[in-house]
Amino acid sequence: MPELPEVETVRRSLEAAVRGGLLRAVEVRDRGFRHPVPAHGLAALVGARLASLRRRGKVLLLDFVREVGDDERTVLVHLGMSGRMLVGEPDAPWQTHEHVRFAIGERSVRFVDPRRFGSVELAETAAVPSHARVARLGPEPLADEFDGAYLFRITRARRVAIRNFLLDGQNVAGVGNIYANEACFRAGIRPGRAAGRLARADAERLASAVKRVLERAIRDGGSTLSDGGYTDAEGNAGWFQTRMAVYDRGGEPCRRCGTPIRLRVVGQRSAYFCPRCQR
């Protein structure tokens, strides 16, 4: 669910709801995360103001600033597979799988994550926080530095499937399985093709396709699949799933040529493609 477009949509909806608010309280009910929630560090932020909300790849960055002093801190939130950030009333009862609650201004923000693959962590505020969660991420796919030339250069001699290459955040940040599959379709490239076999023109088309599919999905508020798990911070579902060309459409006709979409497991993850439109 939460890939770059979903995280960006959550960021925007949270920003509209709570940016500028004072952090009044933080409660943590850590149920054993892979990366422990720093309850004491979060509690020490009480009294600071949520100055800005940023995103790096799939990581949400909440920058807290005090009026006086130099202890600016950034909360890093990763939604994992099932994480959500939901705005609500501060005194509402805790819901199932709610792990952290921030009281900001007159609202509350809850971190809810059934599968607990997500994380809430803390770092010193910086242009790029020196935290393991973001330190080694590749370029933002919507930035100018991610282009055909870059993609062509870093794929040379790589044998990994191009779909998997796109999933590796060290190559490009924030692209998950849905949008990697969709971008490969738009570029006419089979997801299982070795990355190093991309021609220069393929790399140009693919970089462009990644940008276009992510921009389109952000405009649509992300993808809410049939399990309905993802919404923005206000509970609104996304609409990009109605535009998907291949993802989750195994056996259904290609929207371009009518050939049945194929589903194949590539590197432990489902890859979807049109055998006629993609080579």
Q: Is 58 a catalytic residue?
A: yes
Among 37, 53, 80, 249, binds DNA (CB under 7 A): 80
CB closer to DNA, 2 vs 48:
2
Among 129, 141, 176, 221, binds DNA (CB under 7 A): 176
Shortest distance, CB of residue 152 to DNA, whole angstroms? 15
CB closer to DNA, 63 vs 113:
113
Q: Which residues between 10 and 49 bind DNA (CB under 7 A)?
A: 32, 34
Q: Is 211 a catalytic residue?
A: no
Among 9, 13, 108, 164, binds DNA (CB under 7 A): 164
Binding characters for DNA, 95-134, by CB under 7 A (x = yes): -xx----------------xxxx--------------xx-
CA distance 231 to 238: 7
Q: Is 3 a catalytic residue?
A: yes
The residues annotated with a catalytic role in the active site are 2-3, 58, 269
The residue ranges that bind DNA (CB under 7 A) are 1-3, 32, 34, 57-59, 78, 80-82, 96-97, 114-117, 132-133, 157-161, 164, 167, 169, 176-178, 196, 223-227, 229-230, 241, 267-270
